[in-house]
Structure 1
Amino acid sequence: MTDQAVQPAGADGTPGRLPGGSTPGSPPGGTPQVPCGGWHIAGREAELAQMRADLEKAGLHTLSGRPSPHSRVLLIAGRPGSGRTALAEAFAAQTAADFADGVLRARLTEPGGTPVPTERTARELLAALGPDPVPAGADEDELTEALRAELGRRRVLLLLDDVTLPEQVLDLLPDTRDCLVVAVSAGPLRGVPDVRPCTLGGLGRDAAVSLLAARAGAPHRTTVDPRSAELVAEACGHLPAALVLAGGWLAARPKLSVAEAAKQLGESPATDPLERAFGLVAGSLTRTPARVLRMLALAPDGLVDAHTASSLANCPVATARQILDDFLRLGLLRNSTLASGCYAVPRCLDPLLRALLAEHESAEETVLARARMLERTVRRLRACHAVTEPEGSEARKRAAFLPRTVRFASRREARDWLEARRPAILAAARLAVAEGGGRLDGLARRLISALARAFDAHRSQEEAAPELYRLHELVLDVAVRAGLRRERAAALLNLGDLDARTGRHRRALTRYRAALEAARGGEESGTAAASSRARAGSWDPAAAARALESIGSTYEDMGDAERAADWYGRALAHHQIRDDRAAAARLHGRLGAVHTGQGRYDEALRQWRAAAANFRRLGDAGAHARALAEAAGVHERAGRPQETVRLCRQALEVAGDAEDERLRAALLLRLADACERTGDVREGSRHRQTASDLLNSHNLTVDVE
């Protein structure tokens, strides 16, 4: 898989796995667990024994007296469909007890053959190792270094599937001998140290016939005609994936003889054994199942459920569900442990499905199918978010009009669905953005927006941040390509916020400045010009003001008070032009805080008084009282206790209209301190007792500096 790079132990979906063998695994996001039972794989006992022997042998570096600081690497090389992943899983199951911290899995190639970015794989592996959140926006070097450091403290078996380049292994190779890497690839991995290869071909004749018999559903069908069974196995090249397909075809036709299968396979023009078996099964399908089959090439991340298949092939959900169940029995799909009713498309079939799609579907129909799938996913994400909203809310009302099959009965059901489909939905978003000509840009933006809201509803801020960062980057790509300045500014602001939150202040400043440029329409701003562009709709004053304020906030976090005050002042001017009193009041407060920290008390008082005046005009008694209290604090710092007492009393009068008992108690405590500093200890004690009574009567606490 791609985004769901880490899979729990025992994840199904490997092309060579024997039918009927299910192995429980842990849910996504948790610590990977070793499956309860071992993997049983017929015909590969010798290879398993070889791998165990290789594990116990000393490496070449050790024999030379220079032990390698890296993990050992066991390579399973073979063509797709040879059962290489199943062998890796069987080995992992047999040796898992030797690795106290479990088994991690990562698939390093996406459907279509594109290598998965190392940054994404490292992020998913770190997330599985947990519990600390992965920093949002971290680059590849940071993530791989963090991953190697984390693995260096553990004893883990790392299974890397579908490796295409040696660099993919080298970037993830743990710097410890306590870990083991099992790599699955089509060929050798030159340049990777300490590699022990195990090369797979087809199964032996007896094992191949046994697998065919098991899939055909009745052993006597092969025992009564052993020669035909051997011919079928030969036509399938003794490849497990091809044998599974041929056996599934026979199981669906209990009245046909094995000789008929041998005949049809022998007449196939295909030279590749897997293509020959696939053609046998695909050619036997009726119109609707045949269309569902070729549309599986469009399933994001190779994951499909009834809703996905229904939208891609434009057929009813019930029909799609039945077809997928039939495909499972035929060997065209594998069960996925991610969720009930979710299937995985075997990666060895992906090129064949793509060729089938190109042959029978036009480019326009392919785009239309993707659009239907994206639209269905957007509706499900909205329902996923709506179930977290209060009864009677607008989101709930809109969700009530959705089909019953799209809605969720509970918050838990919605979260489970989101976590299970997360890799596929993220893959769908990437594919939509990558669609040539920007034909799906509108749907891509809607999908990303719906997914971001669902993450906000079901995940903590720290959990959601890394994936939200990538989603905002996708929105930025769409906005730049389509020339959407407002969307570009919004994406840059969101990215800047995430960078600032993780301490990447320089990168955040770059994002905010780019957002400011986008919001201004790429031109310098002046009051008259800004007003003209705002009327023309060519700039976004709200985004510009937010960018200015964010730049100031970032400089404040960096300890540069002079620049912070300068940018806050620019943001304040924008808010005043727009007559946004609430925002202006907030900016006066931020300027007051900066000046207070720098000891510029007169300027700080001017800003806090302006903030208080704005809040008074807005009728916000609580904010008005807090601004007065801050002004009192400035007087206190400046050594003016009498002024502090006066303003605290004024703030208390205003707070009476706010009905905020915690605020009143905090003001009473500040007033008590101020009175005691003026020498009026009795008055201070009276105010302190009043605050204590107020807090006790309402079971409240306050923290006053």
Structure 2
Amino acid sequence: MTGAGPRSGSSDNRMSGTVNGSLLQAAEIHGDVYLAGSAPSRTPPYQLPRPPRHLAGRERELGELDALLGAVDAVVLRGPGGVGRSALAASWLRAVSGRFPGGVLHAELTHPGGEPLPAEDVLGRFLRALGVPADEVPATLAERTALFRSATAVEPVAVLLDDAVSAAQVRVLLPAAPGSLAVVTTSQPLLGLVASGAAVVAVGPLADAGALELLGGHLGAERVAAERGAAEEVVALCGGLPIALCVAAALIRARARRTIAWMAERLRDARDRLDVLSGEDDCSVRATFDLAYRDLPDRAKAVYRVLGVHPGSLVPAELAAAAVDLPVEDVAEALDDLVEACLADEVDRGWYQLHGLAHVHASSVPTEDAERARIARALVDWYRSAVRRAGDLVLPARRRGPPPPRAAGDPAGALDWLDRVRGDLGPVLRLALAHGLHHHVIDMCDALKGFFVVRKHYVEAVEVYELTLAAALATGDLAAEIGVRRRLARAFSRLGRAADAEGQVRAMVASAQAHGDRRAVAKAHEGLGLLYRDQGRTAAAVEQLEISLAMVRTQDRPRGEALLLLELGIVLAGTDDVDAALERLAAARTALVALATPDEYNAARADLAEGRVRLGRGEVERAGVLLHRALAALTAHGATREAAGAHLALADWATRAADPDAARWHAGMGADLLGGPGRDR
């Protein structure tokens, strides 16, 4: 009412200030008052870090995350530091953020120095982001947890929790509304969280294709294609670790004239590799591994240092136990600690492998020279013993010591074990040479002879034999020199390196004659005979082998004599003098099975050669007996290539015996085996 004052006894209805929303004006109010109107609008928080511009090679992980969306309330992205867990999580959550109308929250759960962030601090930040006034955020962890659950109880919320260190740290940060999701990145197993239903997606180093794609994203696909070889080398030297690849790419881009080949050259020296790939603390490969190492238990640190001295890639628990002088059970637990820290993988039961750059880091951990030398000696000692045991099983007729118990293994099992470690044999022998353990090298080479003879790994054989030759020359061991030159010539010949093979034989003959050692001279003639055989000079081969045989017969070497008879029989089988071939082969087999420890492998070779000769003469029934007997023995000894030859001979035998089904089966088996571990390389 205009001009009218308040009535007598009434309240003052004046209003001052600014009102947002509805205003009720009344003189006196009796009873309850209900106000209706819209609450102030609040934008849901969106705290995701900026995803990387280039995400490559993560199709498997993204597919697994898509399949888990809506099925679980927590996903653990587990992998080593620097592998790109956070980048993957941020990229994926950005793509699916529309599923979370309540907002997307993010927190780093570990300080840059490696200390865990208190959960109550994270909850305080989350509550303020969700609209709780700062002065209304409770003080205690329990109260903040309860309020966070209430604040996230209505609409689905996503939380990205980076670098979690424990399940307890994560559990209080899980939003409450149905359809909510926590994505947790970590290098820890978080077993308590997984036991509560969280799914795990493993995030490992990038495969070559993905790593090249990532490098191309930073440098340009055309540039990577133009320097494909150098790019592949950079990828390999970075171990497929995204942080390392990103640093490498940034260093290349920093100067216009830098090429990918320039970076590959800088990374080749393992001693400097981590320094090259380490810039600021937030982009330092070395700092990433330093933090992981710092958090290991003391026992696991000791094993990690051992693995840094070990030059190979595969580490059985028994090897590490020998080097740290602890029970195998304790060392197995320490190795599991390395797996849990995402520094190593258990590639097979009891066999472990450090990640590529982790091995470089382990080798750089400060270790006193005396301790490093002690570890190296222990590693080489273990390999020497293990290789000798395996070699004795492969060719027991060559065994020097007492036979192992029957339960110790079988030839095929020993061959498979040696096949597993053959990539590490060269590095271990180089470690032995570096520490002056020449006799260890010679002994291991001698033990490996049967392995290389049976499995035909000529490339690795050349590496081992050349290292052994260096050890033999350093120690003046004539017998070792002659033996390894003969084997080296054989391997070179099988690889088609005729000039190298002949060079070794000539050096062997000269050395043997210079020392006047009749045993060495006999071996030299044998080496010449085998070389001539491989060159197709049959008459010259027979002449040299006969000279060697005559000399060996005066030296009380029954096994050496038997093997020469076998080689002569095989050579003569390719001539018109098959009667002489059969005579030599029969004599060889008789002598080989009559040894104190029968040489069943070479006796089977004699059966195979004789079976082929008799089949060629039309003696089908006798040939079948010999070939089947050879196949059984060669298969039992894991002699893949010779077993393939026996199958192919039996395919011919079955054809002549009018058994087409057996012929097809043997032909197929032979072809399959020739593609297996015993093929020539």
TM-score between both structures, scaled by the size of structure 1: 0.44
Choose between structure 1 and 2 for higher RCO, CA contacts under 8 A separated by at least 6 residues: 1
Structure whose CA Rg is larger: 2
TM-score between both structures, scaled by the size of structure 2: 0.45
